[in-house]
Structure 1
Amino acid sequence: MRRITHYVLPAIGLVLLGIVLGVQVNSFTSDESVYEQLQKLERSFVIITRQYVDPVESQDLAEEGIEGMLEALDPHSSYIPAEEVQGVQDTYRGSFGGIGVMFEMVEDTARVISPIADGPSERLGIMGGDRIVEIEDESAVGIGTNGIQDRLKGEVGTTVNITVYRPLADQRYEFAIERDEIPMRSINTSYMVNDRTGYVKIDRFAMTTHEEFMEEVGVLKDEGMERLILDLRGNPGGVMRSAVDIADEMLDEGLTIVETRGRERTMNSRFQSEGGGSLEDNPIIVLVNQGSASASEIVSGALQDHDRALVVGQRTFGKALIQKQFELDDGSLLQMTVGRYYTPAGRLIQTPYEQGDQEQYVERMMEDQQNATFHPEEYKESIPDSLMYNTTHGRTVFGGGGIMPDVVVQPDTTSLTNFVSAINMDFAFTRDWFMRNEQQMRSTWGDDSQAFLNEFATPDSLVTAFWDFTKEQGVSYTTNDEEVEPGEGVFSEAEKARSEDEIQLRLKAYLARQLYGLRAARPTLNETDPVYREALSLWGNAEELAAYHAAGRE
């Protein structure tokens, strides 16, 4: 497949890779008025740094000034300080130099969830449950997630010495670990839902995402996959090339995937499918929500406009601005909007904004998302005709802000399960319980995640302990329906009884996460997810769209 080289900045400040331009100030100063304003800025800067009543740090002042100028433009232009550039590049390159462990902070100590397969830590015998207590003979307790990451990352080939405490053996172990290239996977979950249905969740779009996607799809096809659920919920976007390539896997040859338009001629491009993709004939359902942005909207918008996939969930974020990176002399980056992208039907799905008014932008976005989720028909009726577009086969789709799903699934904001999960009560309880019972759980289940998922049944005693925990956290239960106030944490005993099956599943899922990581937890968590469950009932719709697409080649 053709490799595309444009990028899209993800929503809320995540950064694209690949277009980095070194720029000298004098290349922009041919306009006399621009030069005059530049002199004004320079003069003001000198006066402030030399004569303000208190000493002023010149670097801080310069960075504040740059950020202020960018904030006056649009919600997504940004400044990246030099010290943050490497971390940003690691994220979107899809790898970094490190020791290869997934960990979480438990109280003040890093607990290894699991070593990355075939990484340097796994090869040396570091295990899930190990506590990282020292790094280079200095305590690693209390230094936080960033402190741990900063000390463990480094150049490939260098060595870092760590000490772990292993609760199962009640012993400390020292390791000299040679750092290696560690993949930062953008796809951490895929599995077969049933004999025919595969599921893949893409967490972000990095340089490696298309390659990862093909690996996961290949495994699922070997297991018999005939149709796919592609979960883009919570995916803030990233590398545009990966989004285009993934959409290409599902589209026939010669179809527009996305069009970019900008002030510079080089930004005016149309990207079309090459054909020959691995999923051209399979029914597809795409899951989206308000956290799906940028590159996620390129994929969902292209598949919706061509009637290729059924889009299910809630309205997406609405981010259709394209940024380029301009490298400054100290290595920092000016991240500036230089174009917009449009879906194949011609939709601009950028949430409207007033220049310089971030507060208005956020308020407008949240209001539109609420209306689109809880009053979808009224929301669609409020959209002017000028923002209505037709898909390949004549369905109506909407511009003006985000991708509106074909099927909207409203979250149940009044349920007890939703209440406790929204504030991570179930996760917190399970983590604390696991800490007290880790030795027994690991000795019973070992490394066999599939056996755990197939055989473990959440005991009633654990559910009872969870209800007691919720009461300690301020939730109350009543037999008087008039006293029920879900928003205040007051639920009926009947609602509590109705929630038990879902709570059992969620506790099991979070125990799987403690033992084996998120990949093992996702299948069970999905069983409690109303959007996922609704999607499983909509294959007739998705198969009809797949038939439309196939008929288009005849």
Structure 2
Amino acid sequence: MKHFRKLILAAVCVVSVGFFAFRNDERFFEIARNLDIYATLFKELNRYYVDEINPNRLTKMSIESMLKNLDPYTNFYAEDEIEDYRTMTTGQYTGIGAIITPNKGKQIIYSILEDSPAAKANLHVGDEIVKIDGIDITTRKDANPDKLMKGQANSSVKLAVRRVGTKDLIEVNVTREFVKTGNVPYYGMLENEVGYIDLKDFNQTAAREVKNALVELKGKGMKKLVLDLRENPGGLLDQAVLICNLFIPKDAEVVSNRGKVTEWNKTYTAPMAPVDTDIPLVVLVNGRSASASEIVSGVMQDYDRGVLVGQRTYGKGLVQTTRDLSYNTKLKVTVAKYYIPSGRCIQAIDYSHRNPDGSVAKVPDSLKVAFKTRNGRVVYDGGGVEPDVATELPALPTIVTSLNAKGLLFDYALHYRAAHPTIKTAKEFELTDADYQAFSTWLKDKEYDYVTQVEKDLGTLEASAKKEKYFDVIQEQLKALKTKLGHSKESDLAMFKKDIKHLLEREIVSHYYLQKGEREYVFRTDAEVKAALDLFKDMPRYEKILKGQK
């Protein structure tokens, strides 16, 4: 601790000397003064606090608290988190390709990447990890399964797993490999001449993966393309530029950055010859399409290069860069806002102006500014990217939300797979009425109670009636409504059979056929995909939308 205190004091001296060279600048004086206060406080805490303090933990907490007052995208990465940061930016790590999630006190394989070491070793979704290289993680609560799974490429990790439907532990040796979480988990032909590319991330190989998929699908006769950016949180800016470049001419403006450090301000243009500037394009977006996803969708809209289908995007128009700090730590810091070719910034939340309680608000409609696409269509800034063809997210019945929250669809899929070694293909699989009844019977002793929105509204009405002295007048009517509208699990299982059955089938398919199988199953009922296909069958309407004549 004495050595630590000397380091702190030495650091303060160095910082103070450097900053006081600028003592005529009040801002630098304030920075130096507050650093001195912080170091002095830390020293006194360490010396006098009743218990021993953990300097690493306390410093990290104070840094995170400071950054929380800025925006959610400015983050500090401690030395032991650098590997996770690299995985996030490259999509690559050394391990077995399985996601382990705590579930009711057990460590369960929640997801397995296709062609990963875990898939090759015949591990199943739902397997409980009991031991890793002899370490019993059910008793060693300090053991981190994710870190134990990782290691040198070509090294082996020995797992003891418990599978649903079996009593004895199964021992599996898995050879670690460089695991790549692909940006494009699925691509293929939806129907005659219509291709589909599902882009889920923007790490270092995103543009190459999209280009390869695009070229392959064109080779198979694709004449129209659906590019799916739903649930894509964004990633690297340069990959967004290169993906836009696949569809727009070389040297066309893609995006510009503007921030406080003016020498970092830059306009990015398409650097290469495109793959196809004419293919009819539909881009699918939703409220979880953010950042780089919004650059690609916004650029396609600004150039009238494709029709956007879905829901308004998230609204993240901020740019981050990473700065190396001492002791192998990093700072990811917001340095600019980005602007797409029409001139608009789609940032929806103003983090620079907080309410007295510290909360932030979205840019009000009254402050949004109109811009125009190349064809003269009016678009707005300050609130994400608005789709050209809007679709509504289906409202899930409360019983479905409860079944999901309790993990019962996942658990029954495990039960189903234990009883059915094989099923039909993802495109063909369907539960029979008898299968659904078996699921309903299985649920009888499971806890998943819930309160419907109607029941909540009746409760609010009753409280208001009592407060305003009307309760005696409407008491009988309220009682009758409660009796009539009060939910019954059995009746809800029958009433919402279609919704529940669909989600249960999807869950089961994902256990057998992983990500690609789940994607192929979902196509059956995907509202945005259906809207895209309908639009491609009516090309005059497609052209009218791009010309602003809808």
Could you tell me the TM-score, scaled by structure 1's length?
Answer: 0.77
Determine if the alignment matches structure 1 residue 43 to structure 2 residue 22: no
| Alignment match, 2:256 | 259
Equivalent residue runs for 1:132-143 within 5 Å: 132-141=129-138
Equivalent residue runs for 1:47-86 within 5 Å: 47-52=40-45, 54=49, 56-86=53-83
Change (3 A) 1:518 1:205: same
Partner residue of 1:473 out of 448, 451, 467: 448
Change (3 A) 1:247 1:99: same
Deviation at 1:206, TM superposition (A): 0.9
Equivalent residue runs for 1:228-243 within 5 Å: 228-243=225-240
Structure 1 distance, partners of 2:123, 2:440, is 35
Deviation at 1:358, TM superposition (A): 8.0
| Alignment match, 2:431 | 458
Partner residue of 2:319 out of 311, 319, 322: 322
Instruction: Write the deviation string for residues 87-145 of structure 1: whole angstroms up to 9, x where unpaired.
Output: 02112111001123455555444455776555444555556665432111112347799
| Alignment match, 1:375 | none
Structure 2 distance, partners of 1:526, 1:144, is 41
Structure 1 distance, partners of 2:348, 2:515, is 32
Equivalent position SS for 1:230: strand
Structure 2 distance, partners of 1:161, 1:206, is 31
Deviation at 1:76, TM superposition (A): 2.9
Instruction: Name the larger-Rg structure.
Output: 2
Deviation at 1:335, TM superposition (A): 2.2
Instruction: Write the deviation string for residues 222-279 of structure 1: whole angstroms up to 9, x where unpaired.
Output: 4433222222222111111111111111112332111112233442221222454334
Change (3 A) 1:142 1:284: farther
Pick which of 507-516 and 68-77 moved more: 68-77
Asked whether the equivalents of residues 285 and 311 of structure 1 are also in contact (C-alpha less than 8 Å), the reply is yes
Deviation at 1:485, TM superposition (A): 12
Equivalent residue runs for 1:310-349 within 5 Å: 310-349=307-346
Structure 1 distance, partners of 2:143, 2:199, is 24
Asked whether the equivalents of residues 103 and 112 of structure 1 are also in contact (C-alpha less than 8 Å), the reply is yes
| Alignment match, 1:441 | 420
Structure 2 distance, partners of 1:45, 1:245, is 44
Change (3 A) 1:502 1:278: farther
| Alignment match, 1:99 | 96
Equivalent residue runs for 1:20-419 within 5 Å: 31-32=22-23, 33-52=26-45, 54=49, 56-101=53-98, 107-112=104-109, 116-123=113-120, 126=123, 130-141=127-138, 147-165=144-162, 172-274=169-271, 276-355=273-352, 357=354, 364-365=361-362, 382-383=365-366, 387-413=369-395, 416=397, 419=398
Change (3 A) 1:164 1:205: same
Determine if the alignment matches structure 1 residue 539 to structure 2 residue 536: yes
Specify the code of the residue in structure 1 equivalent to 2:415.
R
Asked whether the equivalents of residues 354 and 360 of structure 2 are also in contact (C-alpha less than 8 Å), the reply is no
Specify the code of the residue in structure 2 equivalent to 1:438.
R
Structure 1 distance, partners of 2:391, 2:219, is 31
Equivalent position SS for 2:191: coil
Pick which of 111-120 and 530-539 moved more: 111-120
Equivalent position SS for 1:301: helix
Equivalent position SS for 2:257: strand
Q: What is the root-mean-square deviation in Å for CA atoms of aligned residues?
A: 4.0
Specify the code of the residue in structure 2 equivalent to 1:458.
L
Structure 2 distance, partners of 1:500, 1:180, is 42
Equivalent position SS for 2:144: helix
Asked whether the equivalents of residues 109 and 142 of structure 1 are also in contact (C-alpha less than 8 Å), the reply is no
Equivalent position SS for 2:374: coil
| Alignment match, 1:523 | 520
| Alignment match, 1:512 | 509
Pick which of 460-469 and 327-336 moved more: 460-469
| Alignment match, 1:20 | none
Change (3 A) 1:71 1:499: closer
Asked whether the equivalents of residues 113 and 181 of structure 2 are also in contact (C-alpha less than 8 Å), the reply is no
Asked whether the equivalents of residues 505 and 524 of structure 1 are also in contact (C-alpha less than 8 Å), the reply is no
Asked whether the equivalents of residues 131 and 137 of structure 2 are also in contact (C-alpha less than 8 Å), the reply is yes
Asked whether the equivalents of residues 288 and 314 of structure 2 are also in contact (C-alpha less than 8 Å), the reply is yes
Structure 1 distance, partners of 2:122, 2:239, is 35
| Alignment match, 2:467 | none
Equivalent position SS for 2:197: strand
Higher relative contact order (CA 8 A, sep 6+): 1
Structure 1 distance, partners of 2:531, 2:166, is 46
Change (3 A) 1:220 1:465: farther
Instruction: Write the deviation string for residues 20-79 of structure 1: whole angstroms up to 9, x where unpaired.
Output: xxxx96877753234422432233224323434525544444434433443444443222
| Alignment match, 2:466 | none
Change (3 A) 1:408 1:47: same
Specify the code of the residue in structure 1 equivalent to 2:407.
A
Pick which of 274-283 and 107-116 moved more: 107-116
Asked whether the equivalents of residues 134 and 140 of structure 1 are also in contact (C-alpha less than 8 Å), the reply is yes
Deviation at 1:170, TM superposition (A): 5.8
Equivalent position SS for 1:187: coil
Change (3 A) 1:62 1:96: same
Number of residue pairs matched by the alignment: 501
Determine if the alignment matches structure 1 residue 431 to structure 2 residue 410: yes
Instruction: Write the deviation string for residues 332-380 of structure 1: whole angstroms up to 9, x where unpaired.
Output: 2222222111011000111242437389886624xx7xxxxxxxxxx9x
Change (3 A) 1:203 1:28: farther
Deviation at 1:165, TM superposition (A): 4.2
Asked whether the equivalents of residues 305 and 345 of structure 1 are also in contact (C-alpha less than 8 Å), the reply is yes
Change (3 A) 1:120 1:474: closer
Pick which of 480-489 and 314-323 moved more: 480-489
Structure 2 distance, partners of 1:282, 1:427, is 45
Structure 1 distance, partners of 2:489, 2:419, is 34
Change (3 A) 1:526 1:107: farther
Deviation at 1:156, TM superposition (A): 2.4
Specify the code of the residue in structure 2 equivalent to 1:184.
T
Equivalent position SS for 1:302: helix
